């Protein structure tokens, strides 16, 4: 029996590259669900604790998917993308969900009043950026068409810039009426978490664009 035949017979099957795509897509979809839950919570401001619990569960799901990706990286010799790109994508997608959860959790812990218009605007941008990411990630399966990935990346960058403008306006308005310092501190942190979620979406876009250009 040849060495190749022996290895083929007795070694466990190597994970398929397609699993990486599926896991990354699952992480992106999970992130979208968390973003939508945050927006729903901010818009309606009802059953807040229950919605935060739902986002917490989604954050746990995101962590599990990320662990699965890294476990598979350790088991896989040949990967469909550069290992560094897969790791960066996994971490950045997970970070988006983490910041969404941090924003929701802070609202519950700090017992804030109903979110204002700026919080609603930021939550909307987080959803739109997450949706663009979720549209772009599946395109990794078809890297020959780099144009589609780059188009999504351009939109993600635009949305991140929009979130940054909203964040600056929101913080400025907080300090315009700074009678309640505790209120300022609480909402500044919440705004930062939401704006950071869009920053991490931009991190995903940077990796996606790099992959697209490598294979253009």
Predicted pLDDT of residue 145: 72
Predicted pLDDT of residue 177: 73
Predicted pLDDT of residue 143: 67
**Stretches in the chain below the pLDDT threshold 70:** 1-18, 143-144, 216
Residue 25 CA neighbour count, 13 Å, CB half: 11
Provide the CATH number for the domain around residue 152.
1.20.58.220
Digit-coded pLDDT (tens) for 158-183: 999 999 999 999 999 998 877 789 99
What is the span of the domain harbouring residue 38? 17-214
DSSP helix, strand, coil percent of the chain (3-state; round to 5): 85, 0, 15
Answer yes or no: pTM beyond 0.85. Answer: yes
Count how many domains the chain has: 1
Predicted pLDDT of residue 214: 83
DSSP label at residue 46: -
Give the number of other CB atoms < 10 A from CB of residue 12: 6
Q: Residue 1 falls within a domain, yes or no?
A: no
DSSP-derived secondary structure for 2-55: -HHHHHHHHSPPPPPTHHHHHHHHHHHHHHHHHHHHHHHHHHH--SHHHHHHHH
């Amino acid at each position: 029996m040849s060495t190749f035949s022996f290895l083929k017979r007795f070694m466990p099957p190597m994970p398929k590259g397609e699993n990486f795509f599926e896991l990354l897509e699952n992480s992106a979809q999970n992130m979208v669900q968390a973003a939508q839950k945050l927006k729903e919570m901010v818009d309606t401001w009802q059953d807040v604790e229950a919605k935060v619990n739902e986002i917490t569960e989604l954050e746990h799901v995101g962590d599990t998917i990320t662990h699965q990706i890294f476990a598979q990286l350790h088991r896989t010799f040949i990967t469909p993308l550069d290992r560094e790109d897969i790791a960066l994508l996994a971490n950045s997608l997970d970070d988006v969900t983490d910041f969404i959860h941090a924003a929701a959790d802070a609202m519950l812990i700090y017992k804030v009043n109903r979110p204002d218009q700026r919080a609603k605007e930021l939550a909307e941008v987080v959803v739109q950026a997450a949706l663009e990411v979720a549209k772009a990630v599946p395109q990794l399966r078809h890297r020959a068409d780099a144009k589609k990935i780059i188009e999504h990346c351009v939109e993600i960058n635009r949305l991140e810039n929009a979130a940054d403008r909203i964040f600056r306006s929101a913080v400025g308005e907080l300090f315009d009426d700074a009678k309640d310092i505790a209120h300022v501190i609480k909402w500044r942190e919440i705004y930062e978490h939401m704006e950071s979620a869009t920053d991490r979406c931009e991190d995903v876009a940077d990796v996606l664009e790099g992959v697209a250009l490598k294979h253009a």
